[in-house]
Structure 1
Amino acid sequence: MAEITSELLIKRLAEWGVDTIFGIPGDGINGIMEGLRRHADKVKFVLVHHEEAAAFMACAHAKATGRIGVCLATSGPGGIHLANGLYDAKLDHVPVLAITGLQESSVLGTGYQQEVALDRLYEDVTEYNQVVMNPAQMPALVDVAIRTAYARRGVAHLTFPNDIQIAPAGEDPYQTVAPVRPPSTAPIYVDPMVWPRDGDLRRAADVLNAGTKIAILAGIGARGAGRWVEQAAEKLGAPIVKSLLGKMVVPDDSPYTTGGLGLLGTKPSEELMEEADTLLMLGTNFPYTKFLPEPGKARVVQVEIDPARAGTRTPTEVPLVGDVGATLERLLPLLDVKDHAFLGKYQEKTRDWREAMTALESADRDPIAPQYLAHELDVQAADDAILTCDSGTIATWAARHWQIRGRREFYLSGTLATMAPGLPYAIGIQHAHPGRQVIAFVGDGGFAMLMAEFHTAMRYGLPIKVVINNNNALGQILWEQMVLGYPEHGVRFGEPLPDYAAWARGCGGFGVHVNKPGDLPGALQEALAHPGPALLDVAVNPDEPPLPGKVSYDQAKKFAEAWLHGQPRKASIASTLFKDKIQQLKG
């Protein structure tokens, strides 16, 4: 059987260490599917139910392993469906390669069926974007695409016309200006270790040594450098605030951390940013600038691997371009040892905050408090569990009640903050880490969007656990409407209630619905112990507000206005708020 160009594609991906491609077949990629069939021993094709999920799985695979994630879609609508997951990879700076099909080169530009110029559609989302028009371009374009995705921490895209996919391998139908040279037989990308110049390190140390109230803000770019981050905190007497993506940089029980920042963060973290006179930003391009110190109030040192991002969020006196770990290793000897009075103040504030959060985790509240659900999951999950999460109120409960300890990890759509990735993230990560406990902690709104992928987990024997925080509403938008001073509108799903547990059982998995707090611990224990995919659908209090760590006067005023303008469930919401306060006082 003659070798076709698609085989060169698959073999080269395998040489780069790619062992899995997530996607859906279609007539625009039949040639690539044949290449996969012929080399199924080298690269596994994971069939999903929606291309968006395939892109999320590739993104999650890259986040959890550091290796490039690969997704595949047919021409036209298939490629369009990939876009949301690809933007997730772009905005969270992870390497993903998207492969798509295209109509035969002879009909391009004629308005042929499903003809979409995916290369032009992807111009904004990609770091590298190429239409393959000659078999002789293989495998060099694969090399360039993957190296670019790694080097620029983003998305690369290759799209193949149908006729090129099945053309004889190595064919060069056009007269070439230069002979095609074979690429390296052993492709490799070496991630450079970068650290700042000595003079810049000295300037940064001078700023930090002059500070008296120093705060550290750590993001996902500091992952793997936790011990150096804590050493900096110890030496500077500086509390550590974590971005949501950076939640796993240091453990949540670290004596240095005050927790997260922003709407999903903690009151001590917000107060720290208001008081600090010096801020050390490590591996974060934190976008919510209203939670950072006011310009001019604090001197800022930022460690950032991308020179283009250094200093983009807040006036930065000393931008340090480099890897966080390598930079801190060289910066630490230059730092003065400070007393811990300021750190001690925020350690006490953090203890008080944690007591208030613990009070909300009561098993006595009926309907089930989402804080109790998140806490019970935290208690029962393994110390090396990986939690994936959706956007919305679910992220608030995970941020505050899921504790990073041991080898635990935490993933969600960070900057894009899209709905629906929790389930496909779990599948992509479970595939990469078959021996780990992987839990998708999702809302009912996000789960419903891509719930068919639970069947994907069943087909491939991936023992993911799905825990649905079911408030039968788009909870985050509900509360945002009220904070804006509007009565809620269009955010509650109402009757009839879908039976997600029945869907799980229909797929052949474990599925249980829980609506009483007393039933939750046992049901969760059973779900986590189940050897295959399991789903726990938990009806939680729909009127539990995901309040900011520190409620501003303007937020309270707008909330009151919405109340007066006819909030339809104000009695139930008032009761929940009252119970929250009583629990905190009791705690």
Structure 2
Amino acid sequence: MTAPSPALTAADILVETLIAWEVDTVFGLPGDGINGVMEALRTRQDRIRFIQTRHEESAAFMASAHAKFTGKLGVCLATSGPGGTHLITGLCDAALDQAPVLAITGLQAHDLIDSFTQQDIDLSRMIGNIAVFDTKVASAAHMETVAGLACRAALTRRGVAHLSIPADMQVQRLEDSPRSSRNRPGHVPNRRFYGRSLPDPDQVELAASILNRAERVMILAGQGAAGAVSELEKTADLLAAPVAKALLGKAILPEDHPHSTGGIGMLGTLPSEEAMEGCDALLIVGSTFPYIEYYPDPGQARAVQIDRDGERIGLRYPVEAGLVGDAAESLHLLNEKLERKQDRSFLERAQSGMARWREMMRAAERQDDVPMKPQVVVGALGRRLPPEAILTSDSGQNTELAARHVPLGPGQDYAVSGTLASMACGLPYAIAAGLAHPDRPVFAIVGDGGFAMQLGEFSTAVRHGLNLKLLVIRNGMLNQIAWEQMMFLGNPQFACELQPIDFAKAAEAMGGRGFTVSEPGQVDAVLDQALATPGPVVIDAIVDPYEPMMPPRLPETHARNLREALPETPGREKIEAALAAEPLRTMIEAGRK
């Protein structure tokens, strides 16, 4: 690394380092606590762009999504005090989903720290709890050392790095910065040293032995399998294994792939759950799907897990063979030792189950009830996604709808706040996707609760003219929360109703286009018109607030809790009517053991 010019400020060194690490976009909001960095960005805007957001939480979500959609470092920036605290939710999303993100925050002047001055908040202490690298920058000479280390840590350890920079240190020139005798200029290279790690050969042998001896193998694939699709397909074929996909791995295999059983968990499919219940061996590839109750019972199945992070081996289920390394390389080595199973009956049962499940989903999408069922409009949107589409969703009932009613194929991508499952992520994710891939159409499915939290951010999409089509499921409810109140604890729904917002008018007010649809007969015409409209578009879908959110198999405890909760829950009669109607009645019956 060439030593920087003595005339450069700490902020200049930081931004030059970002450029050296191939960062092309910084998301954030200006403020006086970060003015030095903003000036360094201004003077280099021909090489790195600054995307002004309407809220710092959105900036952090966008940085997380940028990392997920590009594989590169996502960067967000905020001023001192409340600017930095607003970042934390989006940074938690990045940390839990292992997205490499660098957060840059301002700090009060170095000689006023911890003196109860304005915005005197120790952001290092707050963000450091979730960071893989965190430091307060002491000087321009210190910045020369730590800026590259922060970038490298975020990328190598797949997490959040944080630099907190006092306002006066941002504008300190390197020539004015005291340097210790051991801190030689240019001693830290601005390079990431790449390598694909290989698993222990003995563990590969053990894994092959376990899987070859098994009769009914199930595969659980997550986002860590994204770079290993062809190897995963070969593994599934050799083992005659159904493949369930964690939500972050939704785009790993096409929904109609012969080995795919779709999602797993509360948002998943019955065939995935049945295969988990019936397998005698489980292969986990790049996933730490958190809902332990959807794994096989301990002792039922022997397990093999592939993960680049050894700390995550055996995190959810007892594992006998752990392959710590790159998923593609690990599967390649494993495939060389697998024997092709002649008995395909376990896979065939899952395939028959998927045929029945898909027909139930299609039946739900054909309903002509008024108020309109949300599956109708989501299914219609899903059928219209072009081959190169990028899809995001928020957290809530809209996540279930996207998971079950939007089939993704080759060349399409999907992202969501996975492990954190935060509301308000869908729109910032979509904006980041559109900025990173301006040649691809972007779609988002969000709920009225989450969308309202960051409603003003739609103006950011308008400002940049993004090819974004955003479907809002407006049921006037925090629907998932309402069903969790009833099914998890047997409590009546409480405090989940939302004041209605006309989102189509809000979109128009911000310079975009808005469309409203409330009846099944309108769906095709409205969607065709909305999708043919250039630029950012909101499709405000007014749907049935009492449509149940059902897991693929309703546990008896949930059924009992629901019966106890309904008598005091508003809309009881409409909920009971929905539960008794098709296709929910068939789904509930099919889900009973």
Deviation readout 1:464-487 (Å, 9 max, x if unpaired): 111101111100011111112111
- Find the aligned partners of 2:13 and 2:32 in 1 and give their Cα distance: 20
* Of 338, 344, 350, the match for 2:354: 350
- 2:443 pairs, out of 425, 439, 444, with 439
Secondary structure of the structure 2 residue equivalent to 1:536 = strand
Query: Is the counterpart of residue 541 in structure 1 residue 544 in structure 2?
Result: yes
Q: Distance in 1 between matches of 2:280 and 2:524?
A: 45
Alpha-carbon separation, structure 2, partners of 1:179 and 1:467: 54
Deviations 1:188-218 (A, max 9, x none): 3233201212221111110001101110111
Distance 2:183 2:54 in 1: 43
Residue 114 of structure 2 corresponds to 109
Partner of residue 377 from structure 2, selected from 368, 373, 398:
373
Match of 2:513 among 502, 505, 510: 510
Contact kept, 8 Å, 1:136 with 1:180, in 2: the verdict is no
**Which residue of 178, 195, 213 maps to 1:173?**
178
Percent of aligned positions that are identical: 43
Q: AA paired with 1:391?
A: S
> Residue type of the partner of 2:307?
E
Contact kept in structure 2, 1:138 and 1:170, CA below 8 Å: no
Aligned pairs for 1:221-240 (under 5 A) are 221-240=224-243
In 2: Cα distance, 1:34 partner to 1:230 partner: 49
Match for 2:143 among 125, 138, 143?
138
Instruction: Note the C-alpha offset of 1:169.
Output: 3.3
Of 24, 45, 60 in structure 1, the residue corresponding to residue 65 of structure 2 is: 60
Residue range with higher mean Cα deviation, 569-578 or 89-98: 569-578
Q: Hey, what does 1:334 align to over in structure 2? A: 337
Which one-letter code corresponds to 2:350 in the other structure? Y
Residue 581 (structure 1) shift: 3.5
Q: CA deviation at 1:117?
A: 0.6
Moved more, 51-60 or 29-38: 29-38
Is the contact made by 2:145 and 2:188 (CA closer than 8 Å) also made in structure 1? Answer: no
RMSD value, Cα: 1.5
Matched residues in 2 for 1:476 and 1:393: separation? 5
Letter in 2 for 1:51: E
User: What secondary structure, in the 3-state scheme, does the structure 1 residue paired with 2:449 have?
Assistant: helix
Whole-Å separation in 1 of the counterparts to 2:207 and 2:291:
24
SS at match of 1:524: helix
TM-score, structure 1 length as denominator? 0.97
Match of 2:571 among 546, 549, 569: 569
Work out which of the residue numbers 15, 18, 32 in structure 2 matches 1:13.
Answer: 18
Instruction: Decide whether the 8 Å contact of 2:481 with 2:496 is kept in 1.
Output: yes
Report the counterpart of residue 197 of structure 2 in structure 1.
194
Please state how far the C-alpha of 1:584 moved relative to its aligned partner: 5.7
Letter in 2 for 1:473: M
Note the alpha carbon deviations across 1:233-268, whole angstroms, 9 max, x for none.
Answer: 111111111111111111111000111111001111
**In the alignment, which residue of structure 1 is the partner of 2:316?**
313
Deviation at 1:224, TM superposition (A): 2.1
Structure 1 Cα separation of the partners of residues 198 and 529 of structure 2: 48
Structure 1 residues 406, 171: closer, same or farther in 2, change over 3 A?
same
Equivalence map 1:224-263=2 (5 Å) = 224-263=227-266
The aligned amino acid for 1:492 is: E
Deviation at residue 406 of structure 1 after TM alignment = 2.6
Query: In the alignment, which residue of structure 2 is the partner of 1:388?
Result: 392
User: How much does 1:563 deviate?
Assistant: 1.7
Task: Provide the residue aligned with 2:493 in structure 1.
Answer: 488
1:170 to 1:399, Cα distance in 2 relative to 1, 3 A = farther
1:280 corresponding residue in structure 2 = 283
Separation in 2, partners of 1:82, 1:28: 15
TM-score scaled by structure 2? Answer: 0.96
Cα drift, residue 170 of structure 1 = 4.3
Distance in 1, Cα, partners of 2:300 & 2:15:
55
Counterpart of 1:21 in 2: which secondary structure? strand
Cα separation, 1, equivalents of 2:491 and 2:585: 28
- Structure 2 equivalent of residue 49 of structure 1: 54
Any conservation in 2 of the 1:359–1:584 contact (CA below 8 Å)? no
Give, as a single letter, the amino acid of the residue that structure 2 aligns with 1:82.
Answer: L
Q: How many residues align?
A: 580
Structure 1: distance between partners of 2:585 and 2:41: 57
Q: Please give the alpha-carbon distance, in whole angstroms, between the structure 2 residues aligned to 1:456 and 1:6.
A: 26
Runs of 4+ in 1 over 6 A off after TM superposition: none
Contact 1:200 1:318 in 2 (8 A): yes
Paired letter, 1:504:
A
Q: Which amino acid aligns with 1:393?
A: Q
Matching residue's letter, 2:470 = V
Task: Indicate which of 95, 98, 119 corresponds to 2:100.
Answer: 95
Equivalent residue, structure 1, for 2:269: 266
The reply on whether 1:579 has 2:584 as its aligned counterpart is no
Three-state SS of the structure 2 residue aligned to 1:273 is helix
